[in-house]
Amino acid sequence: MIRMNKLSKVYRTHMIETHALRGIEIDVQPGEFVAVTGPSGSGKTTFLNIAGLLEEHTGGDYFLDGVNVTGLNDNQRSRLRNEKLGFIFQGFNLIPDLNLFDNVDVPLRYRGFNAAERRRRIEEALAQVGLSARIKHYPSELSGGQQQRVAIARALAGSPKVLLADEPTGNLDTQMARGVMELLEEINARGTTILMVTHDPELAARAARNVHIVDGLVTDFVRREAPSLVAVA
Amino acid sequence: MEVRPILSTLFRNKTAPLLIAAQVALTLAIVANSLYIIRERLASAARPTGLDEPNIGWINLSPVGEVADPKTMQEVDLNTLRAIPGVRSATWANMIPLSQSGWNSGGMSLKEGDNDSGINSAHYFSPGSLVDTFGLNLIAGRDFTADDVFDHDPEQGSALPKTVIISKALAEALLPNEADLGQLVGQQLFNATEAPVTIIGIVDRLQTPWSNEGADGEQSYILPIRYLVGSFQYAIRTEPGQLDRVMKEAADQLSTLRSDRVLNSQRTFAEIRASRYANETLMAGLLIAVTLFLLLITASGIVGLSSLWVNQRRKQIGVRRALGARRIDVIRYFLVENMLITSGGVLLGLLLTLALNQVLVRQMEVPRLPAEYVGFGMVIMWLLGVASVLGPALRAARVPPAVATRTV
Ligand SMILES: Nc1ncnc2c1ncn2[C@@H]1O[C@H](COP(=O)(O)OP(=O)(O)OP(=O)(O)O)[C@@H](O)[C@H]1O
Ligand SMILES: [Mg+2]
């Protein structure tokens, strides 16, 4: 689903060159739940942004769902993001002036679905995150956990192949974080590939696969049979 | 189109869009009305007089003391003028169009004693041919001959002429709704104060010295009179391109001819026209300046608000990009949003425009605003809106999608 070969990213600002990613090799299979961990500044967000086509890599190759995205133009990348990817952000990033219905509607409009199809998908996605009753509410009227659920509904409504989440629970207390994690696990169980950056070892431990990034390199990844089992080598 | 969500966003942040819409409305009202007034004034100032304007000059001298033999003096002056190379025709005349002062008669009619006809006419007279010297277009009948001309000394109350040439506008006023104006040739023309004269010709157009709006400004007649007073005013018509030189020579020669008079003025017809319409030109210029200034202010308002919104929504734009918006979608968002605000302003402005026009119609005798000026004003406002929002919208489209994850 996500395959990177010798993928690298160099940021060039003024005088400084930052080698944020230095030859990432990874192959994420469809349906996997991958937790990405690593120290601050190690390149996790960079990795996720490149995987999510929010930024372009500067070296190597990246295949998303079999498509080599190297050299695609901005419109093609936008279309791929819209059709294949769903995003969940640490800060929720709902649009404050739109109610839940319209927030979930945003990516669906870019997709070009007709009104009936969009309504069906919005209602279904909000039902899935348990917020059907709040469809006319505005984000400011919801708790953080609820807002993140709306963001998840927005990410899901377009039936993406991959869900990308950068510290989705970073702004939530433990209990709400657990709720969101459970929701992600449910979604993964229905077949959506998930890539999640987290600082929380407990949450990382619940993922079937952990990718550890240090200093721009995947230094360690561990596959285990069941999430309840022992610690990482 | 994403009109509904944009509208609901606008409704949740009403103040600034309302202010911009109000500004658009006000600008539209003022722009549409002043464009119309500008057009009216300039169109009025551009009306033809019926004269061969580029080749006509007007020269004016005042006697110092009593003039012994005005008839000889006129003849000598005219012979001098006609001898200047490049002069096509020259004659004495009592007045010239657009000069804003002159002679006028009332009670013009085809019937005797009909003093209340309400028809006025400018009262031109000349011993020569104004058809020739003004370059008028004779559309019926004939021009005067020397036989038509009567010497007239106002102090002696001498004989008056028996023939007259009238302008088409006067003919139409005398014979309303009549296609064949030629039938007037041969008829008697009466006025409130003088003996009747026979119409012998009709000229297509001869504006009055006051050049009022409408037909009134073109109702004129010409009498064949040699006016025996010491007033020296000559119309000169030159060959094309000779006017400036001829005027200079004419002034020189007339001044040196005798020492008992002074040169008052020597003006080309273009100068007469310019001074007649100086106010109109000034007013049009002022209105244009005010209009441009207003448009600039409104455009700045739109640019300012859009820029502010683009900056405030950087994060949101990044999120939209992450969710699949193409650059063009971001541009379209801002264009549509601006269109909605501008259109709100334009609709409001439509009412305001008509209201303002009402006031102008009543207070300033401005004619009612034609629909095309309102339409034109609306188009200008829409274009202004699009042009103003384009820069900020393009900037918005350059917000990278990574903003969604990179900034808090
Ligand atoms: N736009 C940029 N320009 C220059 N350098 C950048 C840019 N974005 C990130 N970097 C650098 O790239 C490296 C990796 O950053 P990244 O955000 O991927 O780290 P991270 O693992 O997500 O860190 P954190 O856990 O703190 O979020 C850092 O050294 C960072 O300073
Ligand atoms: Mg990060």
Domain range list for chain B: 4-46+278-405, 66-259
So what's the ipTM on this one? 0.94
Task: Give, as one character, the DSSP assignment of residue B186.
Answer: T
Q: Is the pLDDT of residue B257 over 80?
A: yes
**pLDDT score of A228:** 45
Q: Is the pLDDT of residue A49 over 70?
A: yes
**pLDDT score of A222:** 64
Domain count, chain A: 1
Model pTM score: 0.80
Q: In this structure, is residue A230 part of a structural domain?
A: no
Q: How far is the CA of A49 from the centre of ligand 2 (A)?
A: 10
Task: Give the minimum alpha-carbon distance from A122 to chain B in angstroms, rounded to a whole number.
Answer: 15
The residue type at A150:
V
Q: Do B323 and A99 touch (CB under 8 A)?
A: no
CB A71 within 8 A of CB B288: no
Ligand 1 contacts (CB < 6 A) are A 11, 13, 18, 20, 38, 40-46
B134 band by pLDDT with thresholds 50, 70 and 90: very high
* Percent of chain B topping pLDDT 70: 99
**pLDDT score of B80:** 95
Q: In this structure, is residue A94 part of a structural domain?
A: yes
Q: In this structure, is residue A39 part of a structural domain?
A: yes
Task: Give the minimum alpha-carbon distance from A176 to chain B in angstroms, rounded to a whole number.
Answer: 20
Task: Give the minimum alpha-carbon distance from B1 to chain A in angstroms, rounded to a whole number.
Answer: 9
Average pLDDT over residues A140-154: 95
A231 band by pLDDT with thresholds 50, 70 and 90: very low
* Distance (Å, whole) CA B200 – CA A230: 124
Residue A41, chain B, CB below 8 Å: the answer is no
The CATH number of the domain holding residue A39 is: 3.40.50.300
**pLDDT score of B1:** 62
Chain A residues near residue B321 by CB distance under 8 angstroms: 54, 78
Best CA proximity match to B96, nearest among B118, B122, B78, B73: B122
Q: How far is the CA of A198 from the centre of ligand 2 (A)?
A: 9
* Distance (Å, whole) CA A223 – CA B309: 47
CB B263 within 8 A of CB B61: yes
Q: In this structure, is residue A137 part of a structural domain?
A: yes
Q: In this structure, is residue A197 part of a structural domain?
A: yes
Best CA proximity match to A158, nearest among A103, A95, A87, A82: A82
**Angstrom distances, CA of residue A168 to CA of A146, A200, B179, B319:** 12, 11, 89, 15
Structural domain including A218 reads 2-222
Residue of A nearest to B2 (CA): A109
Tens of pLDDT, residues B172-221: 999 998 889 999 999 999 987 778 899 999 999 999 999 998 888 999 99
* Distance (Å, whole) CA B319 – CA B396: 12
Q: Is the pLDDT of residue B230 over 60?
A: yes
Average pLDDT over residues B100-110: 91
Point out the ligand nearest to the CA of residue A213.
1
**pLDDT score of A233:** 37
Point out the ligand nearest to the CA of residue A199.
1
State the count of interchain CB pairs (< 8 A) between A and B.
Answer: 81
DSSP per residue over B125-161, as a string? EESS-HIIIII--EEEE----GGG-EEE-TTTT----
Cα radius of gyration rounded to whole Å, chain A: 18
Q: Is the pLDDT of residue A60 over 80?
A: yes
For A109, which of B2, B319, B400 is closest by C-beta distance? B2
CB A194 within 8 A of CB A146: no
B155 band by pLDDT with thresholds 50, 70 and 90: confident
Q: Would you call A115 exposed, middle or buried from its count of C-beta atoms within 10 A (0-12, 13-18, 19+)?
A: exposed
End-to-end CA distance of chain A: 26
A186 band by pLDDT with thresholds 50, 70 and 90: very high
Ligand 1 atom 29 nearest Cα: A41
More confident call, A157 vs A225? A157
Q: In this structure, is residue A228 part of a structural domain?
A: no
**pLDDT score of A103:** 97
For A107, which of B316, B323, B408 is closest by C-beta distance? B323
Q: In this structure, is residue A27 part of a structural domain?
A: yes
Q: In this structure, is residue A56 part of a structural domain?
A: yes
Supply the mean pLDDT for chain A: 91
Token pair for residue B144? 């005067």
